[in-house]
Amino acid sequence: MAYTKNEIINMLATVADDEVEKLRQQAYSVMLENCGSNVYLRGLIEFSNICTNNCNYCGIRKSNHKVHRYQLNRENILQSAIMSMKSGFGSVVLQSGQRQDAEFVGFVCSIVREIKQITKSEMLPNGVGITLSVGEQSEETYRKFFDAGAHRYLLRIESSNPELYAKIHPGEMKFENRLHCLEVLKKIGYQIGTGVMIGLPGQTLEDLANDILFFKSIDADMIGMGPFIPHKDTPMNEEKFPWDKNRNYRLGLNMIAATRLVLEDVNIASTTSLQAIAEGGREHGLMFGANVIMPQQTCQEVRNEYLLYDGKPFLNETIDELASGVKQKVEALGRKIAFNTFGDPLHFFNRGKK
């Protein structure tokens, strides 16, 4: 169904319990109609926090010298990928800070190839699905990653309002470049994922409604978005930018529901940042129309060094505990987990048909 911007703003503005429940039910039934009740799990491997960018909101920004920087080695990453595959997760996400040097690009290509090889099974003859989330790269690099075997890419636009984008990023980071990257990724043939932070200082409901229309206009296949949470060692810390936790949480859920209503057949992730604000937040997101969870599968030793925001959950569990925990919680909701399958977004195959 086509919604106007005002209708979307009204969805986002919903606060009364009974109205929120109505919105949730609508979104849930649109999810069931378009995607069914399956939940897809992707093992998230945060393989390095070394970053050459200086995003004002992010805990691993280059200028944060309090962070101990790490880069996991090949064996360690492969081990996470294998454990994730053995838990039945049909896809993994490799995420890191942004680096564009040849050594990094070569490392990512070889690790993608090895994961594809090593995770082959009867059910997944080509190995697990691989999503990359390593920032802005050249077309040549994106092609190398694709040829190595990655078939999905996540690159959040962070805010589709260029002025707001400019406020939360240093001058050298250009909105146009991010847009260009998304176009290139799509041209190459990736399934593309994007998203925004919700509740940024100065962000209006109209901005958020425009974000959803932006997702539609670029024909995104996957959406990952979550509440903005200040990190103490960044320019956007809580003292400078007091935040309203409850508002950001509620808006996070309303955004999932509104995105489901407008975009219908995309995959929507229920993100860890919802869980960082409230216990059970990830499951809550699934009830509002999300159908993907990306449980961390990064080894425990470095997990607490990959802190994009304060209060990140699940720092003390083992990889196996994280996998079994998420399975129990999703099944307790009555949702079925689709194991041992890529779990591609249907939108990718429906593109241009609707």
User: Which residues here bind ligand 5AD, judged by CB under 6 A?
Assistant: 57-58, 156, 158, 197, 226, 228-229, 231, 273, 308-309
| Measured distance CA(189)–CA(180) in Å, rounded | 14
On the CB side of 25, how many CA atoms lie within 13 Å of its CA?
6
Asked if 79 and 114 count as a contact pair (C-beta separation under 8 A), the reply is no
The nearest distance, CB 302 to ligand 5AD, in angstroms, is 16
| Measured distance CA(229)–CA(247) in Å, rounded | 12
Locate tokens 């024909």: which residue? Answer: 219
DSSP 8-state class, residue 296: B
Nearer CB in complex with ligand 5AD: 116/231: 231
The nearest distance, CB 155 to ligand 5AD, in angstroms, is 8
Phi-psi map region of 336: left, alpha, beta (phi>0 left; psi -120 to 50 alpha): beta
| Measured distance CA(313)–CA(296) in Å, rounded | 10
The nearest distance, CB 33 to ligand 5AD, in angstroms, is 29
The nearest distance, CB 197 to ligand 5AD, in angstroms, is 5
Nearer CB in complex with ligand 5AD: 31/134: 134
Nearer CB in complex with ligand 5AD: 127/195: 195
Nearer CB in complex with ligand 5AD: 24/156: 156
Nearer CB in complex with ligand 5AD: 53/87: 53
| Measured distance CA(331)–CA(335) in Å, rounded | 5
Burial of 7 by CB count in 10 Å (0-12 exposed, 13-18 middle, 19+ buried)?
A: middle
Nearer CB in complex with ligand 5AD: 127/252: 252
Between the CA atoms of 257, 259, 274 and 15, what dihedral angle is there, to the nearest 10 degrees? -40
| Measured distance CA(255)–CA(2) in Å, rounded | 16
Nearer CB in complex with ligand 5AD: 214/228: 228
Nearer CB in complex with ligand 5AD: 127/230: 230
40 vs 43, 75, 197, 223, CA distance in Å?
10, 26, 22, 13
The nearest distance, CB 143 to ligand 5AD, in angstroms, is 22
Nearer CB in complex with ligand 5AD: 277/299: 277
Nearer CB in complex with ligand 5AD: 70/228: 228
Interstrand relation of 336-337 and 197-198 (parallel, antiparallel or unpaired): unpaired
The nearest distance, CB 317 to ligand 5AD, in angstroms, is 20
| Measured distance CA(5)–CA(294) in Å, rounded | 30
Of 293, 300, 305, 279, which is closest to residue 330 (Cα–Cα)? 293
Assign 152 to helix, strand or coil: strand
The nearest distance, CB 274 to ligand 5AD, in angstroms, is 10
Of 171, 161, 151, which is closest to residue 207 (Cα–Cα)? 161
The nearest distance, CB 37 to ligand 5AD, in angstroms, is 27
The nearest distance, CB 241 to ligand 5AD, in angstroms, is 10
The nearest distance, CB 158 to ligand 5AD, in angstroms, is 5
